[in-house]
A and B are shown apart, each in its own frame.
Chain A
Amino acid sequence: MLRKILATAVLLAATAGSVSAQEPRTLTIISHNVHKTAATGGDLATAQNIAGEWAERNNVTLNWVTLDIGPLHDRLLREMSLGETSVDLAAVLNTRIVPSVASLLEPLDPHMQANPIEDFDGIAEGLRNATVIDGKRVAVPYRHATNALHFNKTLLAERGVAVPATLNEMLAAARAATYTRDDGTRVYGLVTTLDTHVTALQFLSAFGAVYIDADLNVRANSPEMVAGLTELANLYKEGVLPSNVTALGLDELIATMREGRGVFAINPFSRYTALNDPAASLYPGQIDVMPFPTNEPGKASANTEFWSWAIPANSKQKDLAYDLIRELSGKDATVRAALNGNGPVRPAAYDDPRIIEKLPYAAAEAIGLRDASVAVPAFAGAVEATTIFIEEMQAAVLGLKTPEDAAAALQTRAEELVAKSK
């Protein structure tokens, strides 16, 4: 009797299952909030809901899980270490795509052969190459964050300083624009976050300094690195950098610039929208952006990080997830995402009239992307390498170490790390 009841129950459940197949499927995406905004437009009035339209066409409910960079990868890696995961699609930072992680990601080549991505070769070559590990494509580039130099035109004009064209002019301008207002408010010539490696490496790369190159050669102990660190330390000592620069976070950087307490800022091009937001900024439209200058006129230095879409190998809905990647990576979708504030990975997007019209920094970013190199290459010790860099760089900036000692230590420690990772 009991057996019969159970059998009936199972039958009913199975029927219910087949009925529910008609219900919308749920696709779980884990990413940083910037990817959700790029793909859906978020709260923007001019939102381009690319992912939403796809979801509606395919009768799919999108379940976005957005996390900060560290927790995002931690969660993703743990999910991928399980027998099975509910995460179907994930945004992954370039430094995290290392062999041990790549082995947990679904190889995309079969999917792409069966169902090609529109004009895949239109995606920047450097980014495409960095997402192939051991001959297998494991991710599709989606967003680049290339650093640039933002500057407050109003403040520069007030201080009678011209917009610089070279690195040395920029340093002089930053010094000249540093002052204290009558009400006691300090205005810093240069604002940057030094609790992360990217912006500092951007500054240093303008001097020609490289930390670890794409072939995993450590090149930290160079005259260029020492010169760059020395300059950073001097700027800090002179009060051109904010006094809490090593603890300054992104939110504080944005606030400092919006309130006119900073003249120059190192940050990705796409920060333009936030800094000039009429609702929050005291200087809407006045904070311009240019490729980070070097002392070689016309040549920019640009440090970049980029994000890609990848599918966990233990996901249950790989085809569906791939279909969304395909949708998001199309030529038109790339342009529309850029209008949402994304850094487009297709250089051709910068020639699109919609972008030229809507994004005043499009041309500058196109130059930046042209000259861009990855801040730290992907390898097993990449995260630890950034920690080592931050430590030695902060020590040099705060004067706890000489720039020479810091550069030497950086060289030794990074070499050990690279050797260990090989």
Chain B
Amino acid sequence: MVAINIDRFVKRYGSVEVVHDISFDIKEGEFLVLVGPSGCGKSTILRMVAGLEEISGGELRMQGTRVNELSPKERQVAMVFQDYALYPHMSVEQNIGFSLELARVPRTERQEQVKRVADILQIGHLLHRRPRELSGGQRQRVAIGRAMVRKPHLFLFDEPLSNLDAKLRAEMRGQIKRLHQSLKTTSMYVTHDQLEAMTLADRIICLLDGHIAQMGTPHDLFDRPANVFVAEFIGSPTMNIVPVTAGAAGGRPVLTLAGGGQVGLPAGMVLPALTNGGNVLAGIRPEHLSDTPTPGTTAHIEGVIEMLEPLGSDILVTMQAGGATLTARCTDKGQFQPGQPLTLHFDPARLHLFDSKTQMRLT
């Protein structure tokens, strides 16, 4: 069942249009993540849904009803802000209970509900503190608690974790995920961090310059990026993208690198319809390149190790191969030395081809 319809959203500031004709739906209980670099319009869309920004064009429907003109309160949304936006002059209890107080919920009932939320978030012992006496993680929990206590139809998260350090961010990410699994509230989450998007989302919308670059499940975006932008944005380390000329030699497809090196692909592999005389961008993720062949890895590429970046059990190996630079994520057994020759194996099915001009995926 569809909870929210975003129908042809446009946002203009004066004559500048920053969101261009964007439409998507959010299903009941779904966790939707808007991801993209800064300036892509993701926060603007979220704030238009919240009612904090006027909708310049298009329609917002909740449960099928147009709500463009309703106030944030009437839309029954709750929001977690990037800077937490906790009221500095109120205690944690007052912060969480503020919306209930405004809604004239009786004091005892209010206290009960605040307590319930605080217990879920494990901040019950902090209820009488002021925000400035809390750590970053605790503040974030209070902010989430303030959103939860209202039992909203829709949770909105505006880059809620970006002010936290890496360790806390991972922890809070887990907490948000668990919360969503238990509460099942429809959520819309904005982040510039693809890892957060991948780990949290039921569905991701990747935005670029006010347009949707791709919309789909994390798997869709990871396995079949629709364009070079999404391919590079999703996944870490970044996908290797190399300009190649696709052709055929000896009855099988061959990719020729800029420096003249060639990569033979298995006979019988069908390349997509090629354009631009076969000049395409070939992409492969570092984790899909391996220094040891396995049954599936029927193609390989040879080169010389340029740089090593150990990650612990894994190691990032950067290799020069016929004019192209490739990074592979391998298991580190101390087997690599810079300057040594190396052969990287891969499964041709993991290869992504993009049009060199339109940057779109070739299928």
The answer to whether A and B touch directly, with their CB atoms under 8 angstroms apart, is no
B residues touching A (Cβ–Cβ < 8 Å)?
none
